Structure 1
Protein backbone atom coordinates (compact mmCIF):
# COMPACT_ATOMS: atom_id res chain seq x y z
CA UNK A 1 0.00 0.00 0.00
CA UNK A 2 1.87 3.03 -1.22
CA UNK A 3 -0.80 5.64 -0.70
CA UNK A 4 -0.06 8.50 1.66
CA UNK A 5 -2.46 9.94 4.21
CA UNK A 6 -3.31 12.81 1.85
CA UNK A 7 -3.95 10.40 -1.01
CA UNK A 8 -6.33 8.34 1.15
CA UNK A 9 -8.28 11.38 2.35
CA UNK A 10 -8.55 12.59 -1.25
CA UNK A 11 -10.23 9.40 -2.45
CA UNK A 12 -13.94 8.59 -2.46
CA UNK A 13 -15.62 5.41 -1.35
CA UNK A 14 -16.70 2.93 -3.98
CA UNK A 15 -20.00 1.09 -3.55
CA UNK A 16 -19.45 -2.31 -1.98
CA UNK A 17 -22.01 -5.06 -2.37
CA UNK A 18 -19.70 -7.81 -1.17
CA UNK A 19 -18.03 -10.35 -3.39
CA UNK A 20 -14.58 -9.09 -2.43
CA UNK A 21 -12.49 -10.35 0.46
CA UNK A 22 -12.08 -8.26 3.58
CA UNK A 23 -8.62 -6.83 4.15
CA UNK A 24 -6.29 -9.19 5.93
CA UNK A 25 -4.92 -8.24 9.35
CA UNK A 26 -1.58 -7.50 7.68
CA UNK A 27 -3.17 -5.25 5.03
CA UNK A 28 -5.24 -3.46 7.69
CA UNK A 29 -2.13 -2.95 9.79
CA UNK A 30 -0.37 -1.30 6.86
CA UNK A 31 -3.39 0.94 6.20
CA UNK A 32 -3.43 1.97 9.89
CA UNK A 33 -0.08 3.71 9.33
CA UNK A 34 -1.93 6.25 7.17
CA UNK A 35 -4.36 7.26 9.93
CA UNK A 36 -4.11 9.36 13.05
CA UNK A 37 -2.61 7.46 15.98
CA UNK A 38 -5.97 7.66 17.76
CA UNK A 39 -7.44 4.90 15.58
CA UNK A 40 -7.45 1.39 17.01
CA UNK A 41 -7.57 -1.78 14.92
CA UNK A 42 -9.73 -4.55 16.42
CA UNK A 43 -7.79 -7.66 17.43
CA UNK A 44 -9.52 -9.66 14.71
CA UNK A 45 -9.09 -6.81 12.16
CA UNK A 46 -12.88 -6.58 11.70
CA UNK A 47 -13.17 -2.85 12.43
CA UNK A 48 -11.29 0.36 13.23
CA UNK A 49 -12.41 2.72 15.96
CA UNK A 50 -11.45 6.11 17.35
CA UNK A 51 -12.69 7.86 20.46
CA UNK A 52 -12.64 11.64 20.37
CA UNK A 53 -12.66 13.42 23.76
CA UNK A 54 -14.03 16.89 24.46
CA UNK A 55 -14.73 19.19 27.36
CA UNK A 56 -18.49 19.35 27.20
CA UNK A 57 -21.42 18.09 25.19
CA UNK A 58 -21.67 20.49 22.23
CA UNK A 59 -18.35 19.58 20.59
CA UNK A 60 -19.23 15.89 20.81
CA UNK A 61 -22.50 16.67 19.02
CA UNK A 62 -20.66 18.71 16.38
CA UNK A 63 -18.25 15.88 15.64
CA UNK A 64 -21.10 13.38 15.54
CA UNK A 65 -22.89 15.58 13.01
CA UNK A 66 -19.71 15.97 10.94
CA UNK A 67 -19.15 12.19 10.93
CA UNK A 68 -22.78 11.65 9.88
CA UNK A 69 -22.47 14.20 7.08
CA UNK A 70 -19.24 12.57 5.85
CA UNK A 71 -20.86 9.13 5.97
CA UNK A 72 -23.85 10.31 3.97
CA UNK A 73 -21.61 11.95 1.36
CA UNK A 74 -19.49 8.80 1.00
CA UNK A 75 -22.32 6.27 1.24
CA UNK A 76 -20.35 4.42 3.92
CA UNK A 77 -21.87 4.55 7.38
CA UNK A 78 -20.05 4.02 10.68
CA UNK A 79 -21.41 3.06 14.06
CA UNK A 80 -21.28 6.14 16.28
CA UNK A 81 -21.63 6.44 20.04
CA UNK A 82 -21.62 9.80 21.74
CA UNK A 83 -22.35 11.46 25.01
CA UNK A 84 -21.05 14.20 27.27
CA UNK A 85 -17.40 14.71 26.37
CA UNK A 86 -16.93 11.93 23.82
CA UNK A 87 -17.76 10.64 20.36
CA UNK A 88 -16.64 7.16 19.28
CA UNK A 89 -16.64 6.33 15.58
CA UNK A 90 -16.30 2.72 14.34
CA UNK A 91 -15.87 1.80 10.69
CA UNK A 92 -16.40 -1.66 9.22
CA UNK A 93 -17.76 -2.94 5.92
CA UNK A 94 -20.71 -5.18 6.69
CA UNK A 95 -20.91 -6.47 3.10
CA UNK A 96 -17.48 -8.11 3.43
CA UNK A 97 -17.76 -8.88 7.14
CA UNK A 98 -14.58 -6.95 7.88
CA UNK A 99 -12.54 -4.02 6.68
CA UNK A 100 -12.28 -2.58 3.18
CA UNK A 101 -10.49 0.41 1.67
CA UNK A 102 -13.69 2.41 2.23
CA UNK A 103 -13.24 2.23 6.01
CA UNK A 104 -9.78 3.73 5.79
CA UNK A 105 -10.84 6.37 3.27
CA UNK A 106 -13.62 7.55 5.61
CA UNK A 107 -11.33 7.47 8.65
CA UNK A 108 -8.72 9.55 6.82
CA UNK A 109 -11.39 12.01 5.69
CA UNK A 110 -12.64 12.33 9.27
CA UNK A 111 -9.06 12.87 10.47
CA UNK A 112 -8.68 15.65 7.90
CA UNK A 113 -11.94 17.27 9.03
CA UNK A 114 -10.84 17.22 12.66
CA UNK A 115 -7.40 18.64 11.86
CA UNK A 116 -8.79 21.11 9.32
Structure 2
Protein backbone atom coordinates (compact mmCIF):
# COMPACT_ATOMS: atom_id res chain seq x y z
CA UNK A 1 0.00 0.00 0.00
CA UNK A 2 1.25 3.47 -0.84
CA UNK A 3 2.30 5.56 2.13
CA UNK A 4 0.51 8.76 3.06
CA UNK A 5 3.20 11.36 2.46
CA UNK A 6 2.71 14.56 4.42
CA UNK A 7 4.45 17.84 5.12
CA UNK A 8 5.49 16.38 8.48
CA UNK A 9 6.86 12.96 7.46
CA UNK A 10 8.50 13.77 4.12
CA UNK A 11 12.02 14.48 5.43
CA UNK A 12 11.97 11.22 7.40
CA UNK A 13 11.05 9.30 4.24
CA UNK A 14 13.88 10.98 2.32
CA UNK A 15 16.29 9.90 5.04
CA UNK A 16 15.55 6.24 4.24
CA UNK A 17 18.19 6.41 1.50
CA UNK A 18 15.80 4.77 -0.95
CA UNK A 19 14.43 6.49 -4.06
CA UNK A 20 11.15 8.26 -3.28
CA UNK A 21 8.13 8.48 -5.58
CA UNK A 22 5.42 10.96 -4.63
CA UNK A 23 1.99 11.02 -6.29
CA UNK A 24 0.52 14.49 -5.71
CA UNK A 25 -3.25 14.11 -5.93
CA UNK A 26 -6.60 15.53 -4.79
CA UNK A 27 -9.86 13.85 -3.83
CA UNK A 28 -11.81 15.74 -6.52
CA UNK A 29 -9.39 14.83 -9.34
CA UNK A 30 -10.66 12.23 -11.83
CA UNK A 31 -7.26 11.47 -13.42
CA UNK A 32 -5.81 11.07 -9.91
CA UNK A 33 -8.37 8.38 -9.18
CA UNK A 34 -7.52 6.72 -12.49
CA UNK A 35 -3.80 6.30 -11.69
CA UNK A 36 -4.32 5.62 -7.97
CA UNK A 37 -4.53 1.82 -8.31
CA UNK A 38 -1.36 1.80 -10.43
CA UNK A 39 0.55 3.78 -7.80
CA UNK A 40 -0.77 1.43 -5.10
CA UNK A 41 0.37 -1.61 -7.13
CA UNK A 42 3.85 -0.16 -7.66
CA UNK A 43 4.11 0.63 -3.95
CA UNK A 44 3.46 -3.02 -3.18
CA UNK A 45 5.67 -4.41 -5.94
CA UNK A 46 8.67 -2.19 -5.10
CA UNK A 47 8.24 -1.80 -1.33
CA UNK A 48 11.72 -3.19 -0.61
CA UNK A 49 13.47 -0.95 -3.16
CA UNK A 50 11.70 2.42 -2.98
CA UNK A 51 9.42 4.61 -0.89
CA UNK A 52 6.23 5.16 -2.89
CA UNK A 53 3.39 7.25 -1.57
CA UNK A 54 0.59 9.68 -2.18
CA UNK A 55 0.41 13.30 -1.06
CA UNK A 56 -2.97 15.03 -0.87
CA UNK A 57 -2.23 18.56 -2.11
CA UNK A 58 -5.12 20.10 -0.21
CA UNK A 59 -3.86 18.78 3.13
CA UNK A 60 -0.13 19.23 2.41
CA UNK A 61 0.27 22.45 0.48
CA UNK A 62 3.81 22.91 1.82
CA UNK A 63 5.13 19.95 -0.17
CA UNK A 64 3.11 20.91 -3.23
CA UNK A 65 4.61 24.41 -3.13
CA UNK A 66 8.12 23.07 -2.45
CA UNK A 67 8.01 21.01 -5.64
CA UNK A 68 6.10 23.53 -7.74
CA UNK A 69 3.11 21.27 -8.24
CA UNK A 70 0.51 23.22 -10.20
CA UNK A 71 -1.48 20.35 -11.71
CA UNK A 72 -2.66 17.03 -10.35
CA UNK A 73 -1.83 14.32 -10.73
CA UNK A 74 1.88 15.05 -10.68
CA UNK A 75 4.22 12.19 -9.81
CA UNK A 76 7.79 13.11 -8.90
CA UNK A 77 10.76 10.75 -8.73
CA UNK A 78 13.47 11.60 -6.19
CA UNK A 79 16.93 10.04 -5.91
CA UNK A 80 19.54 11.18 -3.40
CA UNK A 81 17.24 14.02 -2.34
CA UNK A 82 16.94 15.48 -5.85
CA UNK A 83 14.02 15.38 -8.25
CA UNK A 84 15.27 13.42 -11.25
CA UNK A 85 12.02 12.91 -13.17
CA UNK A 86 8.39 13.97 -13.17
CA UNK A 87 5.13 12.92 -14.82
CA UNK A 88 2.37 15.50 -15.01
CA UNK A 89 -1.05 14.07 -15.83
CA UNK A 90 -2.35 10.55 -16.04
CA UNK A 91 -0.27 7.89 -17.76
CA UNK A 92 -0.26 4.09 -18.00
CA UNK A 93 1.30 2.09 -15.18
CA UNK A 94 4.15 1.14 -17.51
CA UNK A 95 5.21 4.81 -17.75
CA UNK A 96 5.51 5.14 -13.97
CA UNK A 97 7.28 1.78 -13.71
CA UNK A 98 9.86 2.73 -16.38
CA UNK A 99 10.63 5.99 -14.59
CA UNK A 100 10.94 4.13 -11.27
CA UNK A 101 13.24 1.47 -12.69
CA UNK A 102 15.48 4.20 -14.10
CA UNK A 103 16.24 5.47 -10.57
CA UNK A 104 16.67 2.12 -8.83
Per the normalisation by structure 1, the TM-score is 0.29
Pick the structure with more helix per residue: 1
Give the TM-score, by structure 2 length: 0.31
